[in-house]
Structure 1
Amino acid sequence: MTRDTPSSQVEVYGRSVQALVDAMEFLTLKAQRILASHGIKSLEPEKWYPMRGVLDSFDDILKQVGPHTTRAIGLAIPRNAVFPAGIDSFESALLALDQAYRLNHRGSGDIGSYRYQPTGERTGLMVCDNPYPCEFDQGIILALYERFKPRGSFVLHLAHDTSECRARGAITCGYQLKW
Protein backbone atom coordinates (compact mmCIF):
# COMPACT_ATOMS: atom_id res chain seq x y z
CA MET A 1 0.00 0.00 0.00
CA THR A 2 1.43 3.38 -0.93
CA ARG A 3 -0.57 5.37 1.61
CA ASP A 4 1.46 6.37 4.64
CA THR A 5 0.53 4.31 7.65
CA PRO A 6 -1.53 6.24 10.19
CA SER A 7 0.27 7.88 13.06
CA SER A 8 0.80 5.83 16.18
CA GLN A 9 -1.43 8.48 17.76
CA VAL A 10 -4.56 7.25 15.93
CA GLU A 11 -6.93 5.02 17.89
CA VAL A 12 -10.00 2.95 17.00
CA TYR A 13 -13.12 2.80 19.14
CA GLY A 14 -13.57 -0.57 20.86
CA ARG A 15 -17.11 -1.07 19.55
CA SER A 16 -15.67 -1.05 16.02
CA VAL A 17 -12.95 -3.51 16.96
CA GLN A 18 -15.65 -5.72 18.53
CA ALA A 19 -16.98 -6.28 14.98
CA LEU A 20 -13.80 -8.26 14.29
CA VAL A 21 -14.52 -10.69 17.12
CA ASP A 22 -18.26 -10.86 16.38
CA ALA A 23 -17.67 -11.67 12.70
CA MET A 24 -15.29 -14.47 13.62
CA GLU A 25 -18.05 -16.09 15.65
CA PHE A 26 -16.76 -19.66 15.22
CA LEU A 27 -13.15 -18.54 15.56
CA THR A 28 -13.51 -16.26 18.59
CA LEU A 29 -10.41 -17.62 20.31
CA LYS A 30 -8.36 -17.16 17.14
CA ALA A 31 -9.64 -13.58 16.81
CA GLN A 32 -8.74 -12.88 20.44
CA ARG A 33 -5.26 -14.42 19.98
CA ILE A 34 -4.64 -12.33 16.85
CA LEU A 35 -5.72 -9.14 18.62
CA ALA A 36 -3.60 -10.01 21.67
CA SER A 37 -0.55 -10.60 19.47
CA HIS A 38 -0.89 -6.97 18.39
CA GLY A 39 -1.31 -5.50 21.87
CA ILE A 40 -5.10 -5.72 22.23
CA LYS A 41 -5.26 -8.22 25.06
CA SER A 42 -8.71 -7.60 26.52
CA LEU A 43 -11.27 -5.92 24.32
CA GLU A 44 -13.62 -3.47 25.99
CA PRO A 45 -16.22 -1.79 23.74
CA GLU A 46 -15.91 1.67 25.33
CA LYS A 47 -12.11 1.86 25.22
CA TRP A 48 -9.85 3.03 22.39
CA TYR A 49 -7.12 0.90 20.77
CA PRO A 50 -4.08 1.73 18.63
CA MET A 51 -4.99 1.72 14.95
CA ARG A 52 -1.66 0.08 14.08
CA GLY A 53 -2.59 -2.98 16.18
CA VAL A 54 -6.03 -3.15 14.56
CA LEU A 55 -4.56 -2.93 11.04
CA ASP A 56 -1.92 -5.56 11.83
CA SER A 57 -4.72 -7.80 13.13
CA PHE A 58 -6.59 -7.35 9.84
CA ASP A 59 -3.45 -8.33 7.92
CA ASP A 60 -3.14 -11.52 9.98
CA ILE A 61 -6.81 -12.38 9.54
CA LEU A 62 -6.57 -11.89 5.79
CA LYS A 63 -3.47 -14.14 5.63
CA GLN A 64 -4.59 -16.79 8.13
CA VAL A 65 -8.34 -16.99 7.62
CA GLY A 66 -9.02 -15.29 4.29
CA PRO A 67 -10.94 -12.54 2.50
CA HIS A 68 -14.41 -13.92 3.31
CA THR A 69 -13.79 -13.37 7.01
CA THR A 70 -12.45 -9.89 6.35
CA ARG A 71 -15.66 -9.12 4.43
CA ALA A 72 -17.70 -10.58 7.32
CA ILE A 73 -15.98 -8.13 9.68
CA GLY A 74 -17.09 -5.28 7.40
CA LEU A 75 -20.61 -6.69 7.42
CA ALA A 76 -20.58 -6.49 11.24
CA ILE A 77 -19.48 -2.84 11.39
CA PRO A 78 -22.95 -1.20 11.12
CA ARG A 79 -24.15 -3.35 14.05
CA ASN A 80 -21.20 -2.33 16.23
CA ALA A 81 -19.72 1.02 15.23
CA VAL A 82 -21.05 4.47 16.05
CA PHE A 83 -22.99 6.05 13.16
CA PRO A 84 -24.41 9.57 12.98
CA ALA A 85 -28.11 10.05 13.68
CA GLY A 86 -30.64 10.65 10.93
CA ILE A 87 -29.63 7.93 8.48
CA ASP A 88 -32.83 6.74 6.84
CA SER A 89 -31.81 5.47 3.41
CA PHE A 90 -29.03 3.59 1.65
CA GLU A 91 -27.82 6.75 -0.04
CA SER A 92 -27.81 8.76 3.22
CA ALA A 93 -25.85 5.90 4.82
CA LEU A 94 -23.27 6.03 2.03
CA LEU A 95 -23.02 9.81 2.36
CA ALA A 96 -22.57 9.48 6.16
CA LEU A 97 -20.00 6.69 6.00
CA ASP A 98 -16.99 9.01 6.20
CA GLN A 99 -18.50 10.79 9.21
CA ALA A 100 -19.11 7.41 10.89
CA TYR A 101 -15.51 6.41 10.12
CA ARG A 102 -14.27 9.56 11.88
CA LEU A 103 -16.57 8.96 14.89
CA ASN A 104 -14.85 5.60 15.38
CA HIS A 105 -11.26 6.87 15.07
CA ARG A 106 -9.47 9.58 17.01
CA GLY A 107 -6.03 11.12 17.26
CA SER A 108 -3.75 12.92 14.86
CA GLY A 109 -2.75 11.43 11.55
CA ASP A 110 -4.10 10.76 8.09
CA ILE A 111 -6.63 7.93 8.29
CA GLY A 112 -8.02 8.34 4.78
CA SER A 113 -11.69 8.56 3.95
CA TYR A 114 -14.84 7.24 2.32
CA ARG A 115 -16.19 9.47 -0.45
CA TYR A 116 -19.54 8.72 -2.06
CA GLN A 117 -20.64 10.39 -5.27
CA PRO A 118 -24.11 9.72 -6.72
CA THR A 119 -23.92 9.14 -10.48
CA GLY A 120 -27.59 8.46 -11.23
CA GLU A 121 -30.94 7.68 -9.66
CA ARG A 122 -29.76 4.28 -8.33
CA THR A 123 -26.05 4.39 -9.08
CA GLY A 124 -22.99 5.85 -7.45
CA LEU A 125 -19.27 5.64 -6.89
CA MET A 126 -17.68 4.98 -3.50
CA VAL A 127 -13.98 5.83 -3.30
CA CYS A 128 -12.10 4.46 -0.30
CA ASP A 129 -8.60 5.65 0.54
CA ASN A 130 -8.39 4.31 4.07
CA PRO A 131 -5.82 1.72 5.22
CA TYR A 132 -8.32 -1.13 5.71
CA PRO A 133 -8.55 -4.13 3.33
CA CYS A 134 -10.79 -3.96 0.23
CA GLU A 135 -12.98 -6.81 1.47
CA PHE A 136 -13.65 -4.95 4.72
CA ASP A 137 -14.94 -1.90 2.82
CA GLN A 138 -17.05 -4.12 0.56
CA GLY A 139 -18.61 -5.72 3.63
CA ILE A 140 -19.52 -2.33 5.10
CA ILE A 141 -21.17 -1.22 1.85
CA LEU A 142 -23.12 -4.50 1.56
CA ALA A 143 -24.25 -4.25 5.21
CA LEU A 144 -25.50 -0.69 4.70
CA TYR A 145 -27.43 -1.84 1.63
CA GLU A 146 -29.07 -4.67 3.58
CA ARG A 147 -29.92 -2.41 6.49
CA PHE A 148 -31.35 0.41 4.34
CA LYS A 149 -32.48 -1.56 1.28
CA PRO A 150 -34.23 0.83 -1.09
CA ARG A 151 -37.83 0.06 -1.97
CA GLY A 152 -38.02 -1.91 -5.20
CA SER A 153 -34.36 -2.92 -5.07
CA PHE A 154 -33.53 -6.61 -4.94
CA VAL A 155 -29.75 -6.69 -5.18
CA LEU A 156 -26.76 -4.40 -4.94
CA HIS A 157 -24.26 -4.72 -7.75
CA LEU A 158 -20.88 -3.73 -6.33
CA ALA A 159 -18.09 -3.65 -8.92
CA HIS A 160 -14.56 -3.20 -7.56
CA ASP A 161 -12.21 -1.43 -9.98
CA THR A 162 -9.19 -3.69 -9.50
CA SER A 163 -6.97 -1.69 -11.88
CA GLU A 164 -6.75 0.97 -9.15
CA CYS A 165 -6.67 -1.06 -5.95
CA ARG A 166 -4.97 -0.56 -2.60
CA ALA A 167 -4.09 -4.26 -2.49
CA ARG A 168 -2.01 -3.61 -5.63
CA GLY A 169 -0.30 -0.48 -4.36
CA ALA A 170 -2.81 2.21 -5.33
CA ILE A 171 -3.92 4.85 -2.86
CA THR A 172 -7.65 4.29 -3.46
CA CYS A 173 -10.17 1.62 -4.33
CA GLY A 174 -13.26 2.55 -6.27
CA TYR A 175 -16.59 0.76 -6.19
CA GLN A 176 -19.29 1.27 -8.79
CA LEU A 177 -22.65 0.72 -7.09
CA LYS A 178 -25.97 -0.02 -8.76
CA TRP A 179 -29.18 -1.02 -7.01
Structure 2
Amino acid sequence: MTRSTLSSHVEVYGQSVQALVNAMEFLKLRAQRILASHGIESLQADKWYPMNSVLSSFNDILAQVGPHTTRAIGHAIPKSSVFPPAIFSFETALQSLDQAYRMNHRGSGDIGSYRYIPGVGRTAQMVCDNPYPCDFDQGIMEALYDRFPPKGSIVLRIEHEHTGCRAKGARSCSYRLKW
Protein backbone atom coordinates (compact mmCIF):
# COMPACT_ATOMS: atom_id res chain seq x y z
CA MET A 1 0.00 0.00 0.00
CA THR A 2 1.49 3.31 -0.97
CA ARG A 3 0.91 6.62 0.75
CA SER A 4 -1.03 7.81 -2.29
CA THR A 5 -3.75 5.18 -1.67
CA LEU A 6 -4.44 6.45 1.84
CA SER A 7 -7.33 8.73 2.58
CA SER A 8 -6.36 12.13 3.92
CA HIS A 9 -9.12 11.56 6.49
CA VAL A 10 -7.26 8.90 8.49
CA GLU A 11 -5.72 9.92 11.81
CA VAL A 12 -3.34 8.27 14.26
CA TYR A 13 -3.77 8.45 18.03
CA GLY A 14 -1.13 10.65 19.66
CA GLN A 15 -0.23 8.00 22.21
CA SER A 16 0.97 5.83 19.29
CA VAL A 17 2.89 8.71 17.71
CA GLN A 18 4.56 9.26 21.10
CA ALA A 19 6.29 5.89 20.58
CA LEU A 20 8.26 7.53 17.79
CA VAL A 21 9.72 10.13 20.15
CA ASN A 22 10.22 7.66 23.02
CA ALA A 23 12.10 5.17 20.84
CA MET A 24 14.56 7.82 19.68
CA GLU A 25 15.92 8.25 23.22
CA PHE A 26 19.08 10.18 22.39
CA LEU A 27 17.55 11.79 19.33
CA LYS A 28 14.31 13.11 20.88
CA LEU A 29 14.98 16.64 19.68
CA ARG A 30 15.55 15.35 16.16
CA ALA A 31 12.34 13.30 16.33
CA GLN A 32 10.40 16.35 17.50
CA ARG A 33 11.89 18.45 14.66
CA ILE A 34 10.96 15.80 12.10
CA LEU A 35 7.39 15.63 13.42
CA ALA A 36 7.17 19.45 13.45
CA SER A 37 8.35 19.59 9.83
CA HIS A 38 5.24 17.57 8.98
CA GLY A 39 2.82 19.67 11.01
CA ILE A 40 2.97 17.81 14.34
CA GLU A 41 4.48 20.55 16.46
CA SER A 42 3.07 19.95 19.92
CA LEU A 43 2.60 16.22 20.31
CA GLN A 44 -0.08 15.31 22.84
CA ALA A 45 -0.95 11.72 23.74
CA ASP A 46 -4.73 12.30 23.76
CA LYS A 47 -4.94 14.06 20.37
CA TRP A 48 -5.24 12.64 16.84
CA TYR A 49 -2.82 13.43 13.99
CA PRO A 50 -3.05 13.05 10.20
CA MET A 51 -1.72 9.65 9.14
CA ASN A 52 -0.02 11.18 6.10
CA SER A 53 2.03 13.43 8.43
CA VAL A 54 2.99 10.46 10.60
CA LEU A 55 4.04 8.39 7.56
CA SER A 56 6.06 11.29 6.14
CA SER A 57 7.83 11.52 9.50
CA PHE A 58 8.61 7.78 9.34
CA ASN A 59 10.04 8.20 5.85
CA ASP A 60 12.31 11.01 7.06
CA ILE A 61 13.46 8.98 10.07
CA LEU A 62 14.21 6.01 7.82
CA ALA A 63 16.20 8.22 5.43
CA GLN A 64 18.02 10.29 8.08
CA VAL A 65 18.57 7.83 10.93
CA GLY A 66 18.05 4.37 9.44
CA PRO A 67 16.05 1.13 9.77
CA HIS A 68 17.33 0.29 13.27
CA THR A 69 15.55 3.34 14.64
CA THR A 70 12.40 2.46 12.72
CA ARG A 71 12.55 -1.01 14.31
CA ALA A 72 13.06 0.58 17.76
CA ILE A 73 9.92 2.66 17.18
CA GLY A 74 8.03 -0.57 16.44
CA HIS A 75 9.42 -1.98 19.70
CA ALA A 76 7.94 0.98 21.58
CA ILE A 77 4.43 0.60 20.11
CA PRO A 78 3.07 -2.05 22.53
CA LYS A 79 4.16 0.11 25.49
CA SER A 80 2.77 3.36 24.08
CA SER A 81 -0.33 2.40 22.12
CA VAL A 82 -3.81 1.29 23.09
CA PHE A 83 -4.11 -2.52 23.02
CA PRO A 84 -7.17 -4.68 23.62
CA PRO A 85 -7.50 -6.25 27.07
CA ALA A 86 -7.23 -10.00 27.67
CA ILE A 87 -3.96 -10.56 25.88
CA PHE A 88 -2.30 -13.38 27.77
CA SER A 89 0.14 -14.96 25.30
CA PHE A 90 2.31 -14.20 22.30
CA GLU A 91 -0.22 -15.83 20.01
CA THR A 92 -3.18 -13.84 21.38
CA ALA A 93 -1.06 -10.71 21.05
CA LEU A 94 -0.44 -11.47 17.37
CA GLN A 95 -4.14 -12.27 16.88
CA SER A 96 -5.06 -8.93 18.49
CA LEU A 97 -2.57 -6.85 16.52
CA ASP A 98 -5.06 -5.80 13.84
CA GLN A 99 -7.61 -4.81 16.48
CA ALA A 100 -4.96 -2.74 18.30
CA TYR A 101 -3.99 -1.13 14.98
CA ARG A 102 -7.60 -0.07 14.41
CA MET A 103 -7.91 1.24 17.98
CA ASN A 104 -5.04 3.63 17.24
CA HIS A 105 -6.30 4.86 13.85
CA ARG A 106 -9.59 6.51 12.96
CA GLY A 107 -11.33 8.07 10.01
CA SER A 108 -12.48 6.91 6.62
CA GLY A 109 -10.11 5.28 4.22
CA ASP A 110 -8.10 2.12 3.71
CA ILE A 111 -5.43 1.81 6.40
CA GLY A 112 -4.48 -1.78 5.65
CA SER A 113 -4.23 -4.50 8.27
CA TYR A 114 -2.29 -7.12 10.19
CA ARG A 115 -3.39 -10.67 9.44
CA TYR A 116 -2.34 -13.55 11.70
CA ILE A 117 -2.25 -17.04 10.17
CA PRO A 118 -1.45 -19.79 12.68
CA GLY A 119 1.02 -22.43 11.62
CA VAL A 120 2.00 -25.85 12.88
CA GLY A 121 3.57 -25.94 16.32
CA ARG A 122 5.42 -22.78 17.21
CA THR A 123 5.05 -21.07 13.84
CA ALA A 124 2.79 -18.47 12.31
CA GLN A 125 2.60 -16.10 9.40
CA MET A 126 1.86 -12.39 9.66
CA VAL A 127 0.70 -10.56 6.55
CA CYS A 128 1.06 -6.81 6.91
CA ASP A 129 -0.55 -4.65 4.26
CA ASN A 130 -0.40 -1.40 6.19
CA PRO A 131 1.64 1.61 5.00
CA TYR A 132 4.28 1.46 7.75
CA PRO A 133 7.90 0.37 7.10
CA CYS A 134 8.92 -3.32 7.32
CA ASP A 135 11.32 -2.72 10.20
CA PHE A 136 8.53 -1.03 12.17
CA ASP A 137 6.27 -4.09 11.87
CA GLN A 138 9.11 -6.46 12.78
CA GLY A 139 9.85 -4.32 15.86
CA ILE A 140 6.22 -4.64 16.96
CA MET A 141 6.31 -8.44 16.62
CA GLU A 142 9.58 -8.62 18.59
CA ALA A 143 8.15 -6.41 21.34
CA LEU A 144 5.06 -8.62 21.63
CA TYR A 145 7.32 -11.67 21.93
CA ASP A 146 9.35 -9.92 24.66
CA ARG A 147 6.20 -8.85 26.51
CA PHE A 148 4.50 -12.27 26.29
CA PRO A 149 7.38 -14.77 26.08
CA PRO A 150 6.11 -18.21 25.09
CA LYS A 151 6.96 -20.86 27.68
CA GLY A 152 9.98 -22.91 26.62
CA SER A 153 10.93 -20.56 23.79
CA ILE A 154 14.36 -18.97 23.63
CA VAL A 155 14.20 -16.73 20.59
CA LEU A 156 11.80 -15.38 17.97
CA ARG A 157 12.88 -15.75 14.37
CA ILE A 158 11.25 -13.46 11.83
CA GLU A 159 11.81 -14.24 8.17
CA HIS A 160 10.62 -11.73 5.58
CA GLU A 161 9.16 -13.94 2.86
CA HIS A 162 10.20 -13.31 -0.73
CA THR A 163 6.63 -13.00 -2.01
CA GLY A 164 6.86 -9.21 -2.10
CA CYS A 165 7.75 -6.18 -0.06
CA ARG A 166 5.96 -2.88 0.46
CA ALA A 167 9.30 -1.06 0.24
CA LYS A 168 9.56 -2.38 -3.34
CA GLY A 169 6.00 -1.53 -4.32
CA ALA A 170 4.14 -4.69 -3.25
CA ARG A 171 0.79 -4.38 -1.50
CA SER A 172 1.94 -6.35 1.56
CA CYS A 173 4.83 -7.99 3.35
CA SER A 174 4.57 -11.49 4.70
CA TYR A 175 6.62 -12.73 7.64
CA ARG A 176 7.22 -16.31 8.75
CA LEU A 177 7.56 -16.46 12.55
CA LYS A 178 9.18 -19.28 14.55
CA TRP A 179 9.58 -19.38 18.32
Q: So what's the TM-score if we normalise by structure 1?
A: 0.98
CA contact (8 A) 2:3 2:52 kept: no
| Displaced runs of 4 or more, over 4 A | 1-4
Q: Which residue of 2 aligns with 1:73?
A: 73
How many Å apart are 1:5 and its aligned residue? 2.9
CA contact (8 A) 2:97 2:114 kept: yes
CA contact (8 A) 1:7 1:109 kept: yes
Summarize deviations over 1:100-149 as a string: whole Å, max 9, x none. Answer: 00000000000000000001121000000000000000000000000001
Question: How many residues end up aligned between the 2 structures?
Answer: 179
Q: Which residue of 2 aligns with 1:91?
A: 91
Correspondence 1:52 to 2:52: yes
Q: Which residue of 2 aligns with 1:38?
A: 38
Equivalent residue runs for 1:7-18 within 5 Å = 7-18=7-18
For residues 111 and 169 of structure 1, do their structure 2 counterparts lie closer, same or farther at Cα, with a shift above 3 Å needed? same
Question: 2:84 corresponds to which letter in structure 1?
Answer: P
Question: 1:16 corresponds to which letter in structure 2?
Answer: S
Question: 1:140 corresponds to which letter in structure 2?
Answer: I
Question: 1:11 corresponds to which letter in structure 2?
Answer: E
Correspondence 1:29 to 2:36: no
CA contact (8 A) 1:12 1:49 kept: yes
Identical amino acids, percent of aligned pairs: 71
Alignment gaps of 5+ in structure 1? none
Question: 2:122 corresponds to which letter in structure 1?
Answer: R
Q: Which residue of 1 aligns with 2:120?
A: 120
For residues 162 and 24 of structure 1, do their structure 2 counterparts lie closer, same or farther at Cα, with a shift above 3 Å needed? farther
How many Å apart are 1:51 and its aligned residue? 0.2
How many Å apart are 1:3 and its aligned residue? 6.8
Q: Which residue of 2 aligns with 1:110?
A: 110
Question: 2:72 corresponds to which letter in structure 1?
Answer: A
How many Å apart are 1:163 and its aligned residue? 4.3
Alignment gaps of 5+ in structure 2? none
Separation of aligned partners in 2, 1:67 and 1:3? 18
For residues 8 and 2 of structure 1, do their structure 2 counterparts lie closer, same or farther at Cα, with a shift above 3 Å needed? closer
How many Å apart are 1:88 and its aligned residue? 0.2
Q: Which residue of 1 aligns with 2:161?
A: 161
Q: CA RMSD in A?
A: 1.0
How many Å apart are 1:6 and its aligned residue? 1.4
For residues 21 and 2 of structure 1, do their structure 2 counterparts lie closer, same or farther at Cα, with a shift above 3 Å needed? closer
CA contact (8 A) 1:117 1:125 kept: yes
For residues 26 and 3 of structure 1, do their structure 2 counterparts lie closer, same or farther at Cα, with a shift above 3 Å needed? closer
Q: So what's the TM-score if we normalise by structure 2?
A: 0.98
Separation of aligned partners in 2, 1:85 and 1:150? 18
SS at match of 1:12: strand
